[in-house]
Structure 1
Amino acid sequence: MRTEDWEMLAELYRTENITQAAQRLFLSQPTLTSRLKKLESYYGVQLIIRKQRGITFTPEGEQLALHAQKMLYEQRKIEEQLHNMKDQVSGTIRVGVSNFFALNKMPKLLRLFKQSYPDVEFQVVTGWSSEMHRLILNHDVHIAFIKGDYIWNETKHLLYEEEICVASPWDFTWEELPHLPRIDYHTDEKMRSIVDHWWYSNYKQNPNINIQVNQVETCKEMIINGLGYAIIANLVVRPYTDLIIKPLPLPSGRFITRKTWMYYHEDTLQLNIVKAFVQFIETLDVKAL
């Protein structure tokens, strides 16, 4: 198999969806399907089974997909070792970034880093923090920027801590909150759990959700335009001084916060490029960017 075939099988195995895999590989769906059929013909076995939604791998297909993942890992490893032997900071660093961090912090970080290390290239994957946690666990990325606390037995560096708050276009009391229109947005499971636990610890009735959106940025625009309040991370709404922002209180008198971390494997610091990037991030005040 060629490297392109390894990448195709690994992405199909990861997404279990031909359309999503094609999009991530920047291929048309017919092109990906054609390449898959050629592989099936070459090996003389069926690799996938199409379902109503997505695909599943046959035992033979799963074996080949796992082999593809292993070969991609070995290929990246030898490329990194060769770059590292040059004793200079160059090559490609793979980074997994949570959605908010990708939109609001990552472009500035990459621009600043490339000013010092212009020969470095980046492969950036964005998504929910839970997805980035999986990527770093599987060594699919060198570094992951993750919001929230996930199981991790290796090195991580705290970037900042922010309050979870109610952001509203009008003033309110805590007693009024269940009766006011709330804007809800799609978020990761940990954030959802934090918000729901706080809500049902303080109120018996369900929130009055009258608008639901997919992205936190859309939610923010809805708040700014006076359509309702939302329970949201402080950094999202901090620049908007006209909004009423109140952190979620705990019975102890403290406020609910959420941390953003940089996760990485200690052994990847043997790579000049990873070591330089980690040291660069650790010297910055990321929250202030």
Structure 2
Amino acid sequence: MKIDDYELLLKLKEVGTIRGTAKAILISQPAVTQRLKYIEEYFGEPVFIRTSKSLVLTPAGQMIMEHARKVVEGEKAIKNMLAQSSGEVQGSLSLACSSLVSQRFLPSILGDYTNAYPKVAIDLVTGISEDIKREHKNYHVCIIRGEKLKDSVSELLFEDPLYMFDTEPFPTGQMKKRPLISFKSDDSMHELVDNWLYHHQDQINPIKMLHVDQIETCRQFMQEGLGMAVLPKSVSDSLMAYYPHIPLILDGQPVTRDTWVCYQEGVRKLPQVDRFLSAILDKKFL
């Protein structure tokens, strides 16, 4: 059994389907099926029961999964100890990052980092901040949007002001009635927008809601004139010269979507983690 096989088992348990796992790790579905067949033959026991909806662990599978978790954690631990004792920056960097930050800022940060430290292996997961928060202890570093993690060291990277955009003007002293386009995000983002709308219901009346999956789709729908959209400055600064927009203000203060870098106490003892944190904390974002 290779370490990759144990990691595959953990990913299958996390995702719950062979198809979803294949998509997540970027290999074909038959390849995942074949590797799972090899693992079950190796242990001589079925790991999962295949149902129409998901994979369900067998009693033997539960024991095998616990063993897989210990093997993967042990592998990471020894690599970290070796990296810490070495004079050279190497080892692995486990990173979970908000989708927006990973699209807008992370490529250049990781490009510079991997050029400086080519022996560091990057283990990257991107997604919605709420999902990352639930699994934050599985990563060296988390970059999240919204509220900071309370049981971690959290440092503010930047405050991202929110703006409402439309292809039609925002009239002064008149009610604006337009559809509102929203994108998939965590609850804290929706709460910011809902709270602002509540305090401005005499000015803005969303006549219907259009829900899309990604922020880029939301932006394109707005540009096509399908309705209003609330977008952070980090992805909308190029639109400001071309489309009517207003800042979201409450009690005289801009409504912002804060971005945090979070990590566990003591993790900076690992050179590869310390160098990454130094690089991202020194960066000017907005």
Matched residue SS, 1:92: strand
Q: Distance in 1 between matches of 2:82 and 2:232?
A: 42
> 1:258 and 2:257 equivalent?
yes
Deviation at 1:202, TM superposition (A): 4.3
Unaligned runs of 5+ in 1: none
Deviation at 1:40, TM superposition (A): 3.1
After superposition, the Cα gap between the structure-2 partners of 1:231 and 1:4, relative to the gap in structure 1 and judged at 3 Å, is same
**Could you say which residue in structure 2 is the equivalent of 1:32?**
32
After superposition, the Cα gap between the structure-2 partners of 1:39 and 1:92, relative to the gap in structure 1 and judged at 3 Å, is closer
Tell me the number of residue pairs that the alignment of Structure 1 and Structure 2 aligns.
283
After superposition, the Cα gap between the structure-2 partners of 1:35 and 1:234, relative to the gap in structure 1 and judged at 3 Å, is same
**Could you say which residue in structure 2 is the equivalent of 1:233?**
232
**Could you say which residue in structure 2 is the equivalent of 1:176?**
175
Equivalences for residues 74-153 of structure 1 within 5 A: 74-137=74-137, 139=138, 141-153=139-151
After superposition, the Cα gap between the structure-2 partners of 1:59 and 1:157, relative to the gap in structure 1 and judged at 3 Å, is same
Q: Distance in 2 between matches of 1:192 and 1:49?
A: 38
1:173-232: per-residue Cα shift (whole Å, max 9, x none)? 48533x213222222232123323433454499733464322101211222333321022
Deviation at 1:6, TM superposition (A): 0.7
Cα contact 1:47–1:60 (8 A) shared by 2: yes
Q: Distance in 1 between matches of 2:205 and 2:34?
A: 50
Cα contact 1:165–1:248 (8 A) shared by 2: yes
Across the aligned residues of Structure 1 and Structure 2, the Cα RMSD in angstroms comes to 2.4
TM-score after normalising by structure 2: 0.88
Q: Distance in 1 between matches of 2:126 and 2:185?
A: 14
1:25-52: per-residue Cα shift (whole Å, max 9, x none)? 3332222223323433443443223333
Matched residue SS, 1:61: helix
Equivalences for residues 40-51 of structure 1 within 5 A: 40-51=40-51
Range with greater deviation from structure 2 (67-76 or 36-45): 36-45
- Matched residue type, 1:4: D
Equivalences for residues 134-283 of structure 1 within 5 A: 134-137=134-137, 139=138, 141-173=139-171, 176-177=175-176, 179-203=177-201, 207-209=206-208, 211-240=210-239, 241-250=241-250, 252-283=251-282
Q: Distance in 2 between matches of 1:130 and 1:181?
A: 27
Q: Distance in 1 between matches of 2:120 and 2:47?
A: 37
- Matched residue type, 1:85: S
After superposition, the Cα gap between the structure-2 partners of 1:151 and 1:145, relative to the gap in structure 1 and judged at 3 Å, is closer
Cα contact 1:96–1:135 (8 A) shared by 2: no
- Matched residue type, 1:186: K
TM-score after normalising by structure 1: 0.87
Matched residue SS, 2:242: coil
Q: Distance in 2 between matches of 1:248 and 1:77?
A: 46
Unaligned runs of 5+ in 2: none
Q: Distance in 1 between matches of 2:40 and 2:115?
A: 46
Matched residue SS, 2:112: helix
**Could you say which residue in structure 2 is the equivalent of 1:72?**
72
1:134-169: per-residue Cα shift (whole Å, max 9, x none)? 3322x2x21111111144322121100112221122
1:226-285: per-residue Cα shift (whole Å, max 9, x none)? 3321022222211222122222232x2323222100111122211111111111222221
Matched residue SS, 2:96: strand
Q: Distance in 1 between matches of 2:125 and 2:44?
A: 34
After superposition, the Cα gap between the structure-2 partners of 1:55 and 1:207, relative to the gap in structure 1 and judged at 3 Å, is farther
> 1:58 and 2:58 equivalent?
yes
